[in-house]
Amino acid sequence: MITDTIKRFVGQLFGQRANGGLQRTGKELHGIDRRNVSRHAIKVCEVLHQHGYQAYIVGGAVRDLIVGLEPKDFDVATNATPEQIKPLFRRSRIIGRRFQLVHVVFGPEIIETSTFRAPASQEQETDDHGRILRDNEFGTHEQDAVRRDFTINALYYDPSTEEVLDFHRGVEDLKKRVVRMIGDPRTRYREDPVRMLRAVRFAVKLNGTIDPGSREPIGSMADLIHNVPASRLFDEMLKLLTCGHAMDCLHQLRQDGLHRGLLPLLDVVLEQPGGEEFIELALERTDHRVRAGKTVSPSFLFAALLWHQVNLRCKQLIAKGEQGMQALMAAADSVLDEQTETLAIQKRFSADMREIWFMQPRFERRLPKSIWRMIEQPRFRAAVDFLQLRAAAGEFDSVLAQWWMDLANAEDAERATMIDDLARQPREGTAGAARARPRRRRRGPERTGGESSGSESESGTTASGG
């Protein structure tokens, strides 16, 4: 009797300190329908099982399946090493330098397969603030669970038994929609400050809360975000903005004091008067797209978030006598420079953002000749979408915006008619429209580069401040 009580007590003590004790949850409790699990992820697990290894689907996919959301992707965790995994799959590659893992490729789907990892140890290399710089030791299954961030992210689904292995009572937390850090929250935030942003994102996404103990330190530790490399912050910001609940996330970040100085971008978004409407529209639209399972272009999103600022700066420069397009370009440069200090907006995104912005003034005057050149630009479609946003925010004529949208949606022959009609109409803001001779375009895909190059003036690209 007494030994039982002692045993239970010791068990509880260790359970809480170490891992809460492994719990195996059956289908009736976790509710995962195997049909919603990627068959490729199941395949990876099966092959590894056949070769005598442990293998589970893990992380975000299990979390999302349990709450009935569609997972973005599927990850597998196993006790096989990358060298042992790779030969088992015809199309696979080892990636990563510090911590190697294997990408198993099935057409467009990649199953990221990683070896159980050990948690942070004393010997681990950290920066002056305790941020872990390397995290590359293989470990046991139990250790792998300890080094994960939140209890809801440390769930392992075994497709062969349809059980969920849970070392940290993650299923229980998930049912209560509580985001709870594994281990000591302060230590874990210090090791990796990005976890603070992740806590907010998951709480919003699950329509739940951050456990008070995991939330409390965030206010005083928010500044640690400054030590995180810009490229990583950018990735996390992108996840946050495309999680389907962007605006809620931003408001939550503000409440937790995570926004100020964290990213200049967020200061702009949340604190600049006048800019909100446009941004709210952009984010609402993004949320809708995400929830409808459509793709979201990061360039479009960031172009929208920074537009107000670019516009303001552009107007200031024009007031100082700068020419329209020059002012717009200079404004774009200065805003992007400022952002990239903290948030590494990669070159490929910033180039697209510039294209989207620089096309905006050209929508104001419909010059038949330059319209064909605009259509040929790779970001034309995105720029027209952007124009719709501006129209919805009341900063561009909505009838005109719709004309551009129709043009973007039309086939080439239809486009030719639209542009011809336009050329026949009385002039529109510029002599260019009246001067251009109506010219019927032949049907079918036809290159317009030759005729539009050379003589055309750049008058259509003048930025007008309004």
Write out the residues near ligand ATP by the rule CB under 6 A. Answer: 59-60, 72, 75, 148-149, 153-154, 192, 194-195, 239
Which of Mg ion, ligand ATP, none has residue 131 at its interface (CB below 5 to 8 Å by kind)? none
Query: Could you say which of ligand ATP, Mg ion, none residue 148 binds, taking C-beta under 5 to 8 angstroms by partner kind?
Result: ligand ATP
State the DSSP H helix or E strand holding residue 165, giving kind and residue range, or none if neither.
Answer: strand 163-166
Closer of 150 and 396 to Mg ion (Cβ)? 150
Closer of 229 and 429 to ligand ATP (Cβ): 229
Nearest distance in Å: CB 347, ligand ATP: 24
Q: How far is the CB of 59 from Mg ion (least distance, A)?
A: 6
Instruction: Tell me how far, at minimum, the Cβ of 245 lies from ligand ATP, in Å.
Output: 12
Query: Choosing from 144, 149, 192, 211, which is the catalytic residue?
Result: 149
CA angle 65, 68, 73 (to 5 degrees): 40
Residue number, nearest CB to ligand ATP: 60
> Known catalytic residue: 385?
no
Site for Mg ion in 36-65 (CB under 5 A): 60
CB of 188 to Mg ion, least distance (A): 18
Provide, rounded to whole angstroms, the least separation between the CB of residue 58 and ligand ATP.
Answer: 7
* Distance spanning both ends of the chain, measured CA to CA: 82
Pick what 82 binds: Mg ion, ligand ATP, none; C-beta below 5 to 8 Å, kind-dependent: none
What is the closest distance, in whole angstroms, from the C-beta atom of residue 234 to Mg ion in the complex? 17
Shorter beta-carbon distance to ligand ATP: residue 30 or 148? 148
Q: Report the partner that residue 248 touches, choosing among Mg ion, ligand ATP, none (CB closer than 5 to 8 A by kind).
A: none
Is 149 a known active-site residue? yes
Residue 289 CB, shortest distance to ligand ATP, in Å, is 16
Of residues 4, 33, 64, 73, which has the active-site annotation?
Answer: 73
Q: Is the distance from CB of 317 to CB of 331 less than 8 angstroms? A: yes
Instruction: Decide whether 186 or 381 has the Cβ nearer to ligand ATP.
Output: 186
Contacts from 259-266 at CB under 8 Å and sequence distance 24+? 260/222, 261/223, 261/226, 262/222, 262/225, 262/226, 262/342, 263/233, 263/237, 263/342, 263/343, 264/338, 264/339, 264/341, 264/342, 264/343, 265/237, 265/302, 265/305, 265/306, 265/339, 265/342, 265/343
Which of 256, 248, 277, 269 has its CA nearest to residue 343?
A: 269
Q: Which two tokens stand for residue 433?
A: 């429209």
Q: Total residues contacting Mg ion (rule CB under 5 A)?
A: 1
Q: Which is nearer to ligand ATP, 241 or 463 (CB)?
A: 241
- Distance of alpha carbon 238 from alpha carbon 140, whole angstroms: 32
Whether the CB-CB separation of 423 and 433 falls below 8 Å is answered with yes
**208 or 324: CB nearest Mg ion:** 208
SS3 string, 250-286, reads HHHHHHCCCCCCCCHHHHHHHHCCCCHHHHHHHHHHH
Instruction: Report phi then psi at 25, rounded to 5.
Output: -110, 130
- Pick what 153 binds: Mg ion, ligand ATP, none; C-beta below 5 to 8 Å, kind-dependent: ligand ATP
Q: Which is nearer to Mg ion, 59 or 185 (CB)?
A: 59
Q: Which residue's beta carbon is nearest to the bound Mg ion?
A: 60
Angle among Cα 128, 133, 134 to the nearest 5 degrees reads 145
For residue 345, count CB atoms less than 10 angstroms from its CB and return exposed for 0-12, middle for 13-18, buried for 19 or more: buried
**Among residues 61, 54, 36, which one has the least CA distance to residue 116?**
54
Q: Which is nearer to ligand ATP, 59 or 217 (CB)?
A: 59
Question: How far out from the chain centre does Cα 171 lie?
Answer: 26
Q: Is 166 a catalytic residue?
A: no
194 binds, among ligand ATP, Mg ion, none (CB under 5 to 8 A by kind): ligand ATP
Interaction of residue 20 with Mg ion, rule CB under 5 A: no
Contacts of 63 (CB under 8 A, 6+ apart): 152, 153, 155, 170, 174
The minimum distance between CB 384 and Mg ion, in angstroms, equals 32
Helix, strand, coil percentages for the chain (3-state, nearest 5): 55, 10, 35
* Integer Cα distance of 304 and 243 in angstroms: 17
Which tokens sit at 393? Answer: 């925010």
Return the number of the residue (117 or 373) whose C-beta is nearest ligand ATP.
Answer: 117
Q: Which entry of 4, 33, 64, 75 is annotated as an active-site residue?
A: 75
Contacted entry of ligand ATP, Mg ion, none for residue 364, CB cut-off 5 to 8 Å set by kind: none
DSSP 69-122: PPPS--EEEESS-HHHHGGG-SSEEEE-SSS-EEEEEETTEEEEEEE-B----T
CB 264 → Mg ion: shortest distance, Å?
27
Contact residues: Mg ion, CB under 5 A: 60
Residues recognised as catalytic:
73, 75, 149
